[in-house]
Amino acid sequence: MSPDEARLKIEQLRKALHHHNYLYYIKDQPEISDYDFDQKLEALQKLEAEFPQFEDPNSPSRRVGGGITKDFPTLKHKYPMLSLSNTYSREELEDYLKRTQKALPDEELEFICELKYDGAAISIRYQNGSLSQALTRGDGSQGDEITNNIKTIPSVPLHLRGSDYPAEFEIRGEVFMPLAGFAELNQRRLQEGLEPFANPRNSASGSLKMQDSALVAERPLDCFLYFVMQEEPLFSNHYDAVMAAGEWGFKIPRPEQNYLRKAKSIDEIFDFINHWDQARHELPFEIDGIVIKVNDYRQQERLGATAKSPRWAIAYKFKAEQQETILRNVSYQVGRTGAITPVANLEPVSLAGTTVKRASLHNADQIAKLDLREGDTVYVEKGGEIIPKVVGVNFAKRALNAPEFEYIKHCPECGSKLIRLEGEALHYCPNDTACPPQVSGRIQHFISRKAMDIEGMGSETVEQFVQADLIQNVADLYDLQVEQLLPLERMAEKSAQNIVEGIAASKEIPFERVLFGLGIRYVGETVAKKLARHFETINALQAASKEELVAVDEIGERIAESVVAYFADTAHQNLIERLQAAGLQFEVVKQEGGSQTLAGLSIVISGNFERFGRKEIKDLIELHGGKNTGSVSGKTSLIVAGEGMGPSKRKKAEDLGVKIIGEEEFAQMIGL
């Protein structure tokens, strides 16, 4: 394919992918399957790698992330991002409307009512229809520049539709995490031995500040954009500007969804408020109130702002729904990693549209802070949380002889004495080899899709095998025979054969997924991949000291301590030996033609090249033992530079004394 042909094909693929992305995420009207979309994206990525001269910072391929940002520069907002004043009652809102009308006597006021999304405020700049910069709210006058992370959010357009948008403008909105995605994310964290996130709002905000944009791309983030800002507005009012933004390709709050409504009186405003105070629990995302804005831009300008808040808008905050009920008792759940979670068992109570019988108590410290006693009348709340929580006690209703609460000292499942690690809030059962929930949980994690992906097995199958005393750890799986499974209930010969064959096939799963499947605390998919590629064999990893582990990029002390402790355990050592004997992959398989020429080197590539594509150079770096990094730092070993290397990157490299080489010198280094 000639460069001209490639350029045309790349442009066609980018246009098609932008279009299908818009149909899927904005219009909810997909025209092609996920498979067909992925095929187009893969074709684009291959062409972009082969023809880097046609690079586009807003290509659909950038959705997957991959850049590393060590520091987020703080930049000044062109227009301040002010906070809204809050109100909590009809009377307070009526006072606000009276003040507003008094400031604009004899003028008719029209208001726009919108949902108040519970996420992270964001401001995005577009130039000539392309996304150029994204900032967090920060302190209102300046925010952190997180452009690469924002580009990974599918509902944020990289290129706008049509042609009637301003040449340059900002649009503001809210990044949030849908409830379903939040629940799935927390489930993954629990499987990896990590503490779950507290609520979707914090999860969204924290995701935007992650250093690796590839990890941000894995987070289920979404975004509503609803406030257009420019020097000379194209429209006379807020409503028309929002509707136009929807035509330009933005995901906006639409009137037909009742996410946005015009109103001219307190009664009309409260119709909207009262509706969503009840219906908000049916939404797929969290809201914490309603925003009321003066619609007319000219009136907004005349009303002005205080140092902190605009006078033309106000937020009506919902009260977190709270109910009183009786705490029957406290039970304890044991997770896969041995973490003990206390749960309040309650007299059933209706809360946020559901019947609540159980609520989270988090940990022993939270119980002590509440001064909780069994039999107490407690306040249960479901605000920004998915799981209801106990937030207080009605001490006036406490029985005089109510005994003080004692947190358990032994595991409720196996009786082992609990431990609490320094600096951690949770208690743990240390009996990871015989505690039933830990045994089943670890095996379920091991067979999961992202680990060993054993066909024919699921959580129910694992429970059945454990109860039948056929397996007590993951190594036992590789000793199973068809004849052992046939006596089990609902186990036909074909099913048994499929399971045994699925277990045998898992022996081909690569080392990094085997390592993830072991379920070492804090070692998720990404950490497992980093450790596998760095140490290359399980024996080298087992022998690694805490200091050697911390020396691996992005491996902190907590992860290092967990890995060292895992491999120091005799039971774990025996388990690894059995898995090795069974034939599992415990070393990185070197690709043909590879070497360790670049081992230990962190390499940045920059610019365009004649002999190699950018992706080809990255693959060669990994093939010969090196590590690709996205930005220049004191840890950078060398830079492979082509034509068009950025001057700021070159200056930083020179200031740090980082060696810069061309592609021919790079080729000589690896013997090409």
Residues marked active site are found at 116
- Residue 371 burial (CB count, 10 A): 13
Q: Which residue has the tokens 């911390």?
A: 550
- As to burial, measured by CB atoms within 10 angstroms (0-12 exposed, 13-18 middle, 19+ buried), residue 487 is exposed
Distance between CA atoms of residues 154 and 150, nearest Å: 9
Pairing of strands 602-606, 638-641: parallel
Longest alpha-carbon distance in the chain: 89
Are the C-beta atoms of residues 127 and 78 closer than 8 Å to each other? no
In what helix (H) or strand (E) does residue 11 lie, and over which residues does it extend? helix 3-25
The contacts of residue 364 (CB under 8 Å, 6+ apart) are 342, 407, 420, 425, 427
- Residue 61 burial (CB count, 10 A): 21
Distance between CA atoms of residues 154 and 209, nearest Å: 17
- Residue 359 burial (CB count, 10 A): 23
Distance between CA atoms of residues 553 and 546, nearest Å: 13
- Dihedral (CA of 192, 197, 202, 204) sign: positive
Type of residue numbered 604:
V
Are the C-beta atoms of residues 305 and 280 closer than 8 Å to each other? no
DSSP 8-state class, residue 128: T
Distance between CA atoms of residues 467 and 8, nearest Å: 61
Type of residue numbered 332:
Y
Are the C-beta atoms of residues 291 and 259 closer than 8 Å to each other? no
Rg (CA), the chain: 29
In order, the DSSP letters of 324-364 are EEEEEEEEEEE-TT-EEEEEEEEEEEEETTEEEEEEE--SH
Angle at CA of residue 184, ends 178 and 189, nearest 5°: 120
Distance between CA atoms of residues 462 and 488, nearest Å: 12
HSE, CB side, 13 Å, CA atoms: give it for residue 63: 22
Are the C-beta atoms of residues 152 and 63 closer than 8 Å to each other? yes
